[in-house]
Amino acid sequence: MRFRVLRAAEHRPVPWKNGLGVTYEVAHGSGEPPGDRGAADRFDWRLSFAEIERPGAFSVFPGIDRILTVAAGDELRLMLPRARVLRPFEPFAFAGEAEVTAEVAAPVVAFNVMTRRGVVTAAVECRRVTGEESVQGDFLAVLDGAFTVGSELLGVRDVVAGPPASVTGAGVVAVVALSPNLSAPASGGSGAPHR
């Protein structure tokens, strides 16, 4: 299966479920469009970039597991209820039903991977790449630097669905692997290859 490039300029802005910000959806899998206000949490998996410009509460997503990675900016402090400082390119997993407040000294961009618990699980690995490196996963997101995949040039926030065997360039990429729970009912979606 050939990979597909999901360009940063094409990521769709979607209001946060709590109305306090905007996320830029890269891809999702389910029968419901996450952009529909009434369907904000009716996905089996979703990848997005969120710009966090001021302190505030995160949206609550019952039954959803989240992995958040600071993709740009300095650091993000999460209160959940204990403080946790997230530094760039260090994925952090937490439950979507947790009440989380973010504190920022300066704006940050967060790369988010959300999965419905019991339906899909995710793993996110950030890699600093110089030169050529082989990759295995369902998505590859450019967090910093510039890369080529095949004949495609990739910049920051570009995402490859169905990554090929290798990526060439310099910077940081996040490799996302999605694993369906085979006992859960299947649903459709956009962007990722089905296993």
> Would you list the domain boundaries of the chain?
10-116, 120-180
**Does 35 have pLDDT greater than 80?**
no
Q: What is the pLDDT of residue 189?
A: 47
Task: Determine the average pLDDT of the residues in 175-191.
Answer: 69
Q: Which residues pair with 25 in a beta bridge?
A: 12, 48
Q: Give the predicted TM-score (pTM) of the model.
A: 0.86
For residues 163 and 148, what is the distance between their CA atoms, to the nearest angstrom? 11
pLDDT value at position 45?
Answer: 96
Is the CB of residue 173 less than 8 Å from the CB of residue 126? yes
What is the tens place of the pLDDT at every residue in 88-120? 999 999 999 999 999 998 999 999 999 999 999
* The predicted structure's pLDDT at residue 30: 76
| Amino acid at site 159 | V
Q: What is the pLDDT of residue 93?
A: 96
CA distance linking residue 172 with residue 186, whole number of Å: 32
Distance CA 190, CA 183 (A): 21
More confident residue, 2 or 13: 13
Asked: is 10-116 a CATH 1.10.10.10 domain? The reply is: no
Q: What is the pLDDT of residue 184?
A: 55
- What is residue 39's three-state secondary structure? helix
Is residue 130 packed enough to be buried (19+ CB in 10 Å), middle (13-18) or exposed (0-12)?
exposed
